[in-house]
Amino acid sequence: MLADPTGKLCKDFGVYIEEEGLAHRGSFVINPSGKIVAYEIHDEPIGRNAAELLRKIQAAKFVEEHQGQVCPAGWTPGAETLKPGIDLVGKL
């Protein structure tokens, strides 16, 4: 989490509210290739959860290093992951 005193990042990420001179609260997880792999945007009065943001970063790192694996909702490091396939249809 960081501040953006010049407003450049919030404008680049599309969360700037021009008429108010403020930005929505945005969290963006970007992989080493520069691709946004997760993002969440909240209205100004709604806070973010740093623990959940860290979990998303850990999941993004895991799937980057373990191609073909999927981190299900609520996954934490060390927990079981999934390998997508027809056998999972209707079971999640």
Tens digits of residue pLDDT in 39-84: 999 988 888 899 999 999 999 999 999 999 999 888 999 999 988 7
The pTM score is 0.79
The whole-angstrom separation of Cα 52 and Cα 76 is 10
State the Rg of the chain over Cα.
16
Count of H-run helices and E-run strands, the chain: 2, 4
Mean pLDDT confidence for 24-42? 92
User: What would the mean pLDDT of 31-43 be, rounded to a whole number?
Assistant: 91
How far out from the chain centre does Cα 18 lie?
24
